[in-house]
Amino acid sequence: MELFERVKYISKNLAASEARLAAALGLPQRTFNNYLRKKSQRNLWELLPRILEFFPQVRRDWLYFNEGEKLHPACGEAVSTKPNAYDSQRLPTKSTATSLPDLDKKVRKIEKVQASQYLAGLEKENTLLREMLADKVRIIALQDEKLQRCEKASVIAAS
């Protein structure tokens, strides 16, 4: 079982949904869903300690390396079959509907900050590319001037 599959298992069986685990981790659902793919699963590594904080019944060796049992023996498999088997104080639940709009606001704020940072990066890159283009235009003009001088010199030498 791949890492992304183990995290999917936790989100489905312990957190009740991928959306709720994403919210608990402070990630936009779209980003988290992207992490739950084979190509993007490397992004999950930094989230694993926090997942273990939310679900102490999950064995570290299983989550990190797919070795041994999923859950600690004292917890038993019964915990993993209950969709609401988690600490409701740490994970948002349907009953905490008042906190979900706040969470949505936080997610939107994070997305706005990320978008503005991305835009600033694009603007910086655009400026650099414009400068490079201007330099290349100057180089081409100098090359044209050099070519014209060479042609004049060859005409003078030929006469």
**Total number of domains in the chain:** 2
Local confidence pLDDT in tens for the 159 residues of the chain = 899 999 999 999 988 889 899 988 889 999 999 999 999 999 999 999 999 988 889 999 999 999 989 888 766 544 433 334 444 445 544 444 445 566 667 777 877 888 888 888 889 899 999 999 999 999 999 999 999 999 998 888 887
Residues 60 and 111 in one domain: no
Domain that holds residue 22: 3-94
* 144 shares a domain with 111: yes
In this structure, are 72 and 111 located in the same domain?
Answer: no
Burial track 61-97 (b if 16+ CB lie within 10 A, e otherwise): ebbeeeeeebbeeebeeebbeeeebbeeeebbbeeee
Same domain, 106 and 90: no
Q: Are residues 86 and 117 in the same domain?
A: no
Does 53 share its domain with 111? no
Q: Tell me which of 48, 68, 94 is where a domain ends.
A: 94
Last-in-domain residue among 60, 94, 128? 94
Examine the domain organization and report whether 127 and 61 are in the same domain.
no
